[in-house]
A and B are shown apart, each in its own frame.
Chain A
Amino acid sequence: MDGDLFKKLLQENLITEREFENVAQHQKTVSLFVELRSVLYLGIAFFSTAIGILIYKHIETIGHDVLVICIALVCVACFAYCFKFGKGYTNEKLSSPNFLFDYILLLGCLLLLTFIGYIQFQYNVFGNRWGLAVFIPMLLLFAAAYYFDHIGVLSLAITNLAAWVGIAVTPTRILRENDFDGNRTIYAAILLGVGLLLISIFSTSKKMKAHFSFTYKNFGAHILFIALLAGLFHFEPAYFVWFLVLACFSFLAFRHAIKERSFYFLVITALYAWIGLSYVIIELLTSTSDGMTGLYAVFFYFIASGIAFIRLLIYYNKILKQHANL
């Protein structure tokens, strides 16, 4: 921070003596929060990856039984730590008891996933009921997320729920690993998206971990938007119906964004809606006009719609500006 500036503000009587002292005190020390935490996080990533490779290479000498027992022991230790220091369940937001708590809980949950996956892979505990091998960890993850109040674990649980339904939902996988050409995937994704949005509404209205609401809403909205767009692209003859559904949901999401003053939801709604609209207009333009004319029309459409959406966003930015929020 600029020390001279605050001196000037003090002279201009814009800040109090005590506030100036605060700033001066603050300036005496340099916080290494970002640096140290990044190194710690990277170190954990390196360490766990190295352990994974080492085990993979030496599995013949270690033996599966020993390994499973080790994973289970560490996992139990993590959860024991969390139960000892955790504050128990409440409907409100809990602050973590210490710096390490969140990481240990996360480690426990990841090991739990590994453990269940391992015993299924090696010993075929659940037989051919693959669904069960995803369903059980999912329940445990949701329980841990709610009991210990951890948004990271909640995201893991939602990812597992989606896996149970049959789709991958994490940011880098959602488009790459899903077969959005299959009717089943699209319908499953729509149900999942709607379900998550309903849970989000429920969390807020019942005040049951209301701060989880954003996570549910975020996953739900993206899944539903992508599923609707996939429907729009996939169901060639009926695409207009899908466009209407997309438009309706966009409108609802848009109203919600305005109500909540959420720039984030405003932007994603505008972008998904723009993609859907562009698809329909390109379909119309290329089917009604031939060759070059159609191409020119498409290009002009993109310029015009780009500018129009820019103006729209600038306008709503002004409206939302009063009360900034995520």
Chain B
Amino acid sequence: MQIYNPSQLYNRHVQEQASEAVEEHLLSGDSFLKIKEAYPDSLYTPNFFIRIALALLTAVAVLFSAGIFGLMFWSSDESIIISLVFLALISYAALELFVQKKWFYNAGVDNTLMVAIPVFIVAAFFVADFSFDTRLLSAVMILLCGWLCLRFTDAFMAVLCYVFFFIFLFTNIIQFGSLARMVAPILMMVCSMAIYIFFQRLSAAGSFNSYRGCHKAITLSALLTFYISGNYFVVNKLSIELFGAPLTTSPLMAGIFWFFTVSIPVLYVAFGIVRKDKMLIRTGLLLIAAAIFTVRYYYAIFPLEITMFIAGMLMITISYALIRYLRTPKYGFVFRIKNADTIPVEQVESLITADRFGTTAPVDTGFEFGGGSGGGAGASGKF
């Protein structure tokens, strides 16, 4: 079923683990070379910057190919739909060809082609007089993205498949009368939780699996959908949008969703610390911010700048205290400064700094105060 040989993916995994260990100065370069020889990597993944450029150039080529089809078959809806499906097929054929002949693996070209396929199909659905059916669309997308994920062991396709599965489930549940609508958020939460536990188990069992990346991506998505399904803002707005009346009118329902909104992020962080699970900690931190925004949306107790002042002070104090505290390992946690020689974080950081605080060009207007943006990039890093 999968296009790659499991041993190819395994060798790649070994090399990645080994290079990570070298970056942390745990392995000597000598051993790394030995490992590289014993587990040769036959997959083709170029340098990071090259990958970005390849993805861009592929997107240009695909878009203009679509443009040529558009110029030729602009006559009727049917011909447009047929040409879109045809384009999706061509993209798929090209993808298969590149991977089988050259073993492209996250090389930029294959990623763009893979994304192009569902995009063309969705576009084909939209052409049909906008009378598309969400349930049909999501069912088709589940099958399509699911197949791409299985065939190319691609994590992004796994996420897409999960998202469409979620939409499919939700749109079906709300068909079953008002009671189903009432409990829909809870059902979606239960479903997310079940999927989280299932994939967590799946990736824990056995040491290596070709779909590790996909499992991780799905567990992360499940964590997010678990929170989103119970978030007061989402439930309130979505029920008004879809059912005409908010689900959160009764104090009991409102209380339940407020409880979910505030407690889930904290629980994530707490569980993450107990189980030493970084994904839980990071997601929890991110969602704490989401919880604060949700509360502020409905109850603006303090003006924005006071909230930011307090939050900023708390964040600085807590993180600085923890950084000092974790200089030496405590309870299995540590603040280990990453070696800056291996990653050019400095360069990236310096650019961001110059961008956010740098002087603007012609200085006729003088300096303005209070114009700074406090957005920031959120908790960065790979999941």
Binding site for B on A (CB under 8 A): 1-2, 4-6, 9, 12, 14-16, 19, 22-23, 26, 28-57, 59, 99, 106, 110, 113-114, 117-118, 120-121, 130, 133-134, 137, 151-152, 154-156, 158-160, 162-163, 166-173, 177-178, 214-215, 218, 263-264, 266-267, 270-271, 274, 292, 295-296, 299-300, 302-303, 306-307, 309-310, 313-314, 317, 320-321, 324, 326
Indicate if the CB atoms of B109 and A31 lie closer than 8 Å: no
> Of all chain A residues, which has the CB nearest B349?
A152
Asked if B358 lies at the interface with its beta carbon under 8 angstroms from chain A, I say: yes
Asked if B298 lies at the interface with its beta carbon under 8 angstroms from chain A, I say: no
> Of all chain B residues, which has the CB nearest A48?
B372
Knowing A9-B35, A50-B306, say if A43 contacts B337 (CB, 8 Å). Answer: no
Bound: A151/B58 CA distance, A: 35
A-B contact pairs, 27 of them (CB 8 A): A15-B31, A15-B34, A22-B27, A26-B21, A29-B336, A31-B333, A43-B311, A45-B374, A45-B375, A50-B306, A50-B308, A50-B374, A113-B357, A118-B367, A130-B363, A152-B346, A163-B359, A168-B358, A170-B358, A171-B355, A173-B361, A263-B47, A264-B49, A299-B67, A306-B64, A310-B57, A310-B109
Interface residues on B, range: 35 or more
CB distance from A54 to the nearest CB of B (A): 5
Q: Which of B32-56 contact A (CB under 8 A)?
A: 34-35, 38, 46-50, 52-54, 56
Cβ contacts B346-383/A at 8 Å (1 or 0 each): 11011101111111111110110111111110111100
Indicate if the CB atoms of A152 and B350 lie closer than 8 Å: yes
Asked if B329 lies at the interface with its beta carbon under 8 angstroms from chain A, I say: yes
Indicate if the CB atoms of B361 and A167 lie closer than 8 Å: yes
Asked if B344 lies at the interface with its beta carbon under 8 angstroms from chain A, I say: yes
Could you say which residues of chain B place their CB within 8 Å of the CB of A155?
Answer: 350-351, 353-354, 358
Indicate if the CB atoms of B350 and A39 lie closer than 8 Å: no
> Of all chain B residues, which has the CB nearest A308?
B57
Q: Which of B295-333 contact A (CB under 8 A)?
A: 304-306, 308-309, 311-316, 318-320, 322-323, 326, 329, 332-333
Indicate if the CB atoms of A166 and B53 lie closer than 8 Å: no
Knowing A14-B34, A19-B27, say if A44 contacts B312 (CB, 8 Å). Answer: yes
CB distance from B233 to the nearest CB of A (A): 21
